[in-house]
Structure 1
């Protein structure tokens, strides 16, 4: 099957060809005709399968069929709204819209928080056809009468599973209340949890179901491996693997922001160019670190789960779980950063005895045992005892055993949020509605020095990972 057979106009096909693509991926082959048909869609595909183009391409085609009244006297209302959970993902989606729509007369805008809202308000004054946004900044703009959503024709919820996991369900409900009842709804998710299906039941009207991968499966293009190691030798083993294997580009995951900063400093001490990316970094610092990583100016990018959402590097060869996630689904998201766009990838997990329960939960989720290989010289102590794992200030897990109904730092799980239970911060108060996300500004200095991380910006409780 070719893109020409999917009903896309010549200007879009030209942009696709210039981007280097000739044949659609399975999710694109199914989603594009379904979106053009006009009904609601519930689509699930593991990360790296091209699901972003699966909705941006048909959106561009639909909106290009513009009627004259939409442009009377330069009037340009928001006709398509794409909601994403993180600023990195918002930027990635907007890049996709611009890449494939560069020969069209459509306008697109991306908004997310963290810097002055005024430039975004100015950008929106001229009107925009496609608006890519994170929920908090969008609501801020609506409250300041900078944008109207009364004429939205298509709503896209991208990474809906992460929306629930980050506690954005209430903001999403507020946005839904601002939209016209007659619209097309597209819900895209990397995983299909029961909570996602519950949300879909409320949001979607007789949706077409598209699922191109088995539920919560890890990419078959990724070679997965576990290296058992003592907890106090993980960093030594990581540096050994990077140097011994001459890895020039590796994305490394930690559970906490503090852990990301500490590991980055240790790698720098070992002579490995590294930078950290997490919620306490300014958007400029995060953008520069990511660009330096893509250009090969740093070898190791150390990230937390939420900060890494939206990182899209086609040929990323290595992903390392320096610490296993306590939420098994996050393992699938992490290793999905490699093995993208038909490339092969390697995902390595450094696992100490404290994380045995996490590993068993992951293997149960992906329905397979992960190959275990002890690296010579790093054999774990057979007499070592498991110790509690601290997940930030508000949650401690004893010997790798997770408490049911919780996810990340003791926050309510997605199931409770989907049922309408309001998330609370550490003081038992409802989080404030401002600065939910951060937005790109002029790049700041790279995070490769030893002066410590920048001071945290004022952030929402849910989006601070």
Structure 2
């Protein structure tokens, strides 16, 4: 269905055309007509399916202009997703007059947010900050006509059930509720049964969630270290714009440090970062000031940046839906993309098979037989095949080699200097220009080939090395 077949204001049609949105997605086609009829809706839909426009277009169509009260409130589990939705509100309402919106999230100046609420018709926020503003009587919802719970399952998983109850206690009995969730678990069903009136359920088939335009790969890292594989991706594939996902906040910092030491500039977003830091990181990523973002699942929710060509799972997520969400960061708006998962133990492979069954789609093993990897700069003491390991300069085996029996014979410290021909700020290409500050030039660009025989030496002590490793 084309958007011009839907009864929307000319200003909304103009905004859609401005952003090259002409054909409605499945969730939009199913949701918008029902929402325009003021029906309560349960939308079972993952991110990346166009659900944001599915609930925003009906809200904007029915909004009364030039009034100073809140008519619609949209609740999201994270700050990043709230800001993303707010951006979409402004994109779609750019030709509408007399419409104002406000974002209310934690980690930002609350006084400024209170000021922005005075004229807001649409409020987008996170549960905790909304509760705070309600308690301060700075947010008045007595004339709200539409409530949207976006990613309701995530909000409940994060412990925001009471905040949701507080919200519904503050709005008129007569209102419309649009609830969107990737899964319909017991908690989500309880909320739906409690607050929605005769809802219509719409859903997108799982096959559409994983994206036909995403090529999914894995790299077997059971013999070799994940650090090697990650750096090999950046030196051989050279992604244009990529996100690396890790399962813990501490690991995102360690991955970013590893990339930094090896000529790849990245920014980190995780729950420990201040909102200003997260905003700065997202801005740098959106403008390609940095081409790599290292993130946790929760912090990355809502990221919608065009041009991401690779998503890299340093660890597989524990939840299948998180995997779908992660890879959905690429192949946006009909483009194509790729995902690579680093898989190194038996449980990982079982999990990989489960993911294939879950999405009814094969995850192919990536051919790395022709890949080369520069000697990498890492912390003294090296790491193990499971990821990062805190080392000690005087530990036996601290000089890590790349053979199958690495660590059995000592070696020199792993405190290598990256060569001056490795870039830092301008490119992710290990062979480009630029250098690390305070590191002198190296005489060679030492590399290892991924598909040759086992190494003849146990470690690297400097100078030119012919050591190569086997990834088979």
Identify the TM-score tier after normalising by the shorter chain: 0.7 to 0.9
Secondary structure of the corresponding residue to residue 341 of structure 1? helix
| Aligned residue-pair number | 377
Query: Which of 110, 132, 145 is the equivalent residue of 2:103?
Result: 110
User: Are 2:298 and 1:327 equivalent residues in the alignment?
Assistant: no
CA, structure 1 residues 300+212, in 2 after alignment: closer, same or farther (shift >3 Å)?
same
TM-score normalised over the length of structure 2 = 0.75
Per the TM alignment, residue 306 of structure 1 is displaced from its structure 2 partner at its CA by 0.3
Gaps of 5+ in 2: 372-383, 389-435, 438-472
User: Are 2:120 and 1:121 equivalent residues in the alignment?
Assistant: no
CA, structure 1 residues 342+191, in 2 after alignment: closer, same or farther (shift >3 Å)?
farther
- Contact 2:206/2:359 (CA < 8 Å) preserved in 1? no
Moved more, 347-356 or 134-143: 347-356
Secondary structure of the corresponding residue to residue 108 of structure 2? coil
Partners of 2:100 and 2:18 in 1: how far apart? 20
Residue number in structure 1 paired with 2:215: 223
- Contact 1:192/1:216 (CA < 8 Å) preserved in 2? no
Residue number in structure 2 paired with 1:28: 28
Per-residue Cα deviation, 1:261-308 (whole angstroms, up to 9, x for no partner): 000000011111111111111111111111212222222110000000
Per-residue Cα deviation, 1:344-372 (whole angstroms, up to 9, x for no partner): 11111001105334334433432444223
User: Are 2:116 and 1:144 equivalent residues in the alignment?
Assistant: no
Secondary structure of the corresponding residue to residue 219 of structure 2? strand
CA, structure 1 residues 357+128, in 2 after alignment: closer, same or farther (shift >3 Å)?
same
TM-score normalised over the length of structure 1 = 0.76
CA, structure 1 residues 231+81, in 2 after alignment: closer, same or farther (shift >3 Å)?
farther
Moved more, 254-263 or 328-337: 328-337
Moved more, 132-141 or 172-181: 172-181
Partners of 2:190 and 2:324 in 1: how far apart? 21
CA, structure 1 residues 263+365, in 2 after alignment: closer, same or farther (shift >3 Å)?
same
CA, structure 1 residues 20+369, in 2 after alignment: closer, same or farther (shift >3 Å)?
closer
Q: Which runs of structure 2 are paired with 1:56-135 in the superposition (5 Å)? A: 56-64=56-64, 76-104=68-96, 105-124=98-117, 126-135=118-127
Query: Which of 161, 177, 201 is the equivalent residue of 1:185?
Result: 177
Partners of 2:5 and 2:208 in 1: how far apart? 30
Residue number in structure 2 paired with 1:44: 44
Per-residue Cα deviation, 1:187-232 (whole angstroms, up to 9, x for no partner): 1124444543443233321111111223895222211111110386
Residue number in structure 1 paired with 2:432: none
Residue number in structure 2 paired with 1:370: 363
CA, structure 1 residues 189+314, in 2 after alignment: closer, same or farther (shift >3 Å)?
farther
CA, structure 1 residues 225+291, in 2 after alignment: closer, same or farther (shift >3 Å)?
same
Residue number in structure 2 paired with 1:9: 9
Root-mean-square deviation over aligned CA pairs: 2.5
Partners of 2:160 and 2:386 in 1: how far apart? 30
- Contact 2:127/2:164 (CA < 8 Å) preserved in 1? yes
CA, structure 1 residues 259+18, in 2 after alignment: closer, same or farther (shift >3 Å)?
same
Secondary structure of the corresponding residue to residue 14 of structure 1? helix
Q: Which has the higher contact order (CA 8 A, sep 6+)?
A: 1
Per-residue Cα deviation, 1:87-142 (whole angstroms, up to 9, x for no partner): 11111111111111122211111110113311111222x33211111111111111
CA, structure 1 residues 243+192, in 2 after alignment: closer, same or farther (shift >3 Å)?
farther
Partners of 1:231 and 1:274 in 2: how far apart? 27
CA, structure 1 residues 359+194, in 2 after alignment: closer, same or farther (shift >3 Å)?
farther
Structure number with larger C-alpha Rg: 2
Residue number in structure 2 paired with 1:311: 303
Query: Which of 314, 317, 336 is the equivalent residue of 1:344?
Result: 336
Partners of 1:341 and 1:294 in 2: how far apart? 15
Partners of 1:115 and 1:301 in 2: how far apart? 22
Q: Which runs of structure 2 are paired with 1:447-462 in the superposition (5 Å)? A: none
Secondary structure of the corresponding residue to residue 48 of structure 1? coil
CA, structure 1 residues 34+228, in 2 after alignment: closer, same or farther (shift >3 Å)?
same
- Contact 1:77/1:129 (CA < 8 Å) preserved in 2? yes
**Would you tell me which structure has more helix in proportion to its own residues?**
1
- Contact 2:219/2:343 (CA < 8 Å) preserved in 1? yes
CA, structure 1 residues 307+242, in 2 after alignment: closer, same or farther (shift >3 Å)?
same
- Contact 1:80/1:130 (CA < 8 Å) preserved in 2? yes
User: Are 2:257 and 1:257 equivalent residues in the alignment?
Assistant: no
